Amino acid sequence: MYQAALVLEGGALRGQYTAGVLDTFLAENIAFKLVVGVSAGALCGANFISRQFGRTNQVNVNYRDAREYISPLNVFRYDGIINLDFLFADHGDGWINFDEDAYEASPMDFAVVATSIETGQAVYFEKPLGQDLYDDLKASASMPFVAQPAPTVKGPCMDGGTADPVPFSYAANRGFDKIVVVRTRDRAYRAKDITLLQEKASNQLYSQYPEFIQTMVNHSLIYNHQLDWLDELEQNGRAFVVAPDEPITIDRLERDKKKLTALYHQGRADGLKILDNLLEYLNR
């Protein structure tokens, strides 16, 4: 296990790319002292820590059409289009249950990133266990506008990507000087400012939480500043970034299973492509 941190960006079903990269790491027996995940990155990270090769891909591809998993009607039934509780329930034959025992026994530390809707600031849940793990993952992946805030021990929270979309600074603050970041966007990508319509919707929907609204309005500034800083760290050899060469064009809630499968295999291939350079970085 390397004394390094692995940081996983979110992106809903763009996380298929991350799943492919992480399965390559699992196949090569690469482990990290700390894994930090945001939203879909946190969901992928939990399966990585429990060493369940292929689980993320199997769920997203084989069960994409399951109404209990992803459906607009879930807004009324499960407080969000994506029913995150589905991921941790037992669905019988053909389903791979999350291995909670393997997760708990893993020597890898884990941090789940969410955004407090009361303060608008990022909050970090360190190696949560049991129901707390499921609650924190659900909070981290609860996207604004399409999900309700999720209760946690640190208050109601939503998508960690709102306040801390690429949380490599958290790893640095934990003392790690080797940080591997898996992106779900190409390096050239930069976020666009929130539209007036989105800002108006934010003001109406989250009127009780002005700090959260302000964080949403400033999201592109936060995100783009992180990306510029990450580019500088990578150029100086202080971070190692795995990212797709071209823009990922699938939707966050992509329905095309062929596209989802192709993105997973792209991540697998990219993981192999950078493997020698990654090991050189980690062993430096």
Please state, in angstroms and as integers, the Cα–Cα distance from residue 243 to each residue in 13, 15, 261, 270, 271, following that order. Answer: 15, 12, 17, 8, 9
Rounded distance, CA 221 to CA 80, Å?
27
The verdict on whether 39 is a catalytic residue reads yes
Which member of 23, 135, 136, 159 is catalytic? 159
Name, in order, each residue with C-beta under 8 angstroms of 43's C-beta and a sequence gap of 6 or more: 15, 37, 56, 84, 87, 137, 141
SS3 content of the chain, % helix, strand, coil (to 5): 45, 15, 40
Q: Which of 39, 106, 140, 142 is catalytic?
A: 39
Torsion of CA 218, 219, 224, 225, to 10 degrees: 60
The type of residue at 127 is K
The answer to whether residue 50 is catalytic is: no
**Residues 120 and 215: beta-carbon distance below 8 Å:** yes
Exposure string (b/e) for 109-126, b if CB count within 10 Å is 16 or more? ebbbbbbbbbbbebbbbe
**Active site residues per annotation:** 39, 159
